[in-house]
Amino acid sequence: MILITGGAGYIGSHCTLDFIRNGYECAVFDNLSEGHKEALQTENFYNGDLSNIENIRNAFKKYPIKGVIHFAASCYVGVSVTDPQEYYYNNVVNTLNLLKVMLENNVKNIVFSSSCATYGNPVYTPIDESHPQAPINPYGKTKLMIENVLQDYDRAYGLKYMALRYFNAAGADSKANIGESHSPETHLIPLVLQTALGKRKSIKIFGNDYETPDGTCIRDYIHVNDLSKAHRLAFESLQNNAKSNFYNLGTGKGNSVKEIIETSEKITGKSINKKFEERREGDPPILVASNLKAKNELNWEPDFTEISDIIETAWQWEKNRRY
């Protein structure tokens, strides 16, 4: 059985679904601080907190865990700047708790949610895995710290890991009626679609004088089902004795904020109110992944390569959201 921490959250629930669709048994460990009961894809649910090592030990007693996919974390970049303590505790200390219990139980395979935030300001684009890692906020630093911990634990204890550095997760599973639901929401696509639905007055565009073709920031949006598939392939390669490794997960294509809004207007048939604001500190103009390493070594290929297809699935969710 595979333990999915954070499996009641956005990406974790989709990943659980992907593993189950592919014949795996899963258990979810989540404290529901940000996740949703309605998003759970299995009855094997342990309502626990990673800060409580006995909770983790009990989950390992309850379920015959053979590997771990670790999503649970605090994920707001801005809050990590104003309240770094929560981030270092939840993302670093609590992950150390998890690793400790894994070692106690001789479970030595983990897929870890890292982030493109570990790269910091890009020195070149597209960003490949050899790009320097110099995070510019505590959130990115916590992710890099765990990558470093994993390297040391591999060397010392033989713990095998795959660190997956995602770019911008987006979209929803079109059949399962699960989707993105953060509170507060900070991600562009749900914010734009909620504006189309009239739930928000306008969408803020931070900066329109960047050195990009239309002046707005460019990001690499990857469908959550493609992310999920990559986790399964990464886990399977660990099962097949691959060495520990790290991979970027993105489509390799960038879309600007304006393109996201215009595509959303076409899909929703509504005009979306925009408000231009000053640039935000720490927002690089372009963040696009090179995904060749994951393609070549994990045999991974994203199914969603057009931003319109990604937004369409997000729109279906947004119109009918259950949580």
Indicate which residues carry an active-site annotation. 139
Nearer of residues 35 and 252 to ligand NAD, judged by Cβ: 35
What is d(CA 321, CA 306) in angstroms, rounded to the nearest whole number?
23
CB of 126 to ligand NAD, least distance (A): 16
What are the CA-CA distances from residue 166 to residues 32, 64, 114, 213, 282 (Å)?
22, 29, 7, 24, 18
* 161 contacts ligand NAD (rule: CB under 6 A): no
CB of 271 to ligand NAD, least distance (A): 27
* 72 contacts ligand NAD (rule: CB under 6 A): yes
What are the CA-CA distances from residue 129 to residues 160, 164, 247, 277 (Å)?
18, 10, 7, 32
* 8 contacts ligand NAD (rule: CB under 6 A): yes
Among 41, 115, 244, 256, binds ligand NAD (CB under 6 A): 115
In angstroms, how far is CA 148 from the centroid of its own chain?
19
What is d(CA 226, CA 170) in angstroms, rounded to the nearest whole number?
10
| Amino acid (1-letter code) at residue 307 | I
* 35 contacts ligand NAD (rule: CB under 6 A): yes
Nearer of residues 71 and 119 to ligand NAD, judged by Cβ: 71
The binding track of 168-187 with respect to ligand NAD, each residue x by CB under 6 A or -, is xx------------x-----
**Residue in the structure block whose two tokens are 């879309």:** 255
Nearer of residues 71 and 315 to ligand NAD, judged by Cβ: 71
* 40 contacts ligand NAD (rule: CB under 6 A): no
Please give the size of the binding site for ligand NAD, defined by CB under 6 A. Answer: 27
What are the CA-CA distances from residue 300 to residues 14, 70, 224 (Å)?
17, 20, 14
Piece of 68-76, 147-155, 264-272, 286-294 that binds ligand NAD (CB under 6 A): 68-76
Instruction: Judge contact between 188 and 217, C-beta under 8 A.
Output: no
The binding track of 14-33 with respect to ligand NAD, each residue x by CB under 6 A or -, is ----------------xxxx
Instruction: Judge contact between 6 and 12, C-beta under 8 A.
Output: yes
What is d(CA 272, CA 277) in angstroms, rounded to the nearest whole number?
16
Whether a cis peptide bond, with omega within 30° of 0, leads into 84 is: no
* 217 contacts ligand NAD (rule: CB under 6 A): no
* 166 contacts ligand NAD (rule: CB under 6 A): yes
> Residues in the site for ligand NAD, rule: CB under 6 A?
6, 8-12, 30-35, 49-51, 71-73, 75, 90, 94, 113, 115, 166, 168-169, 182
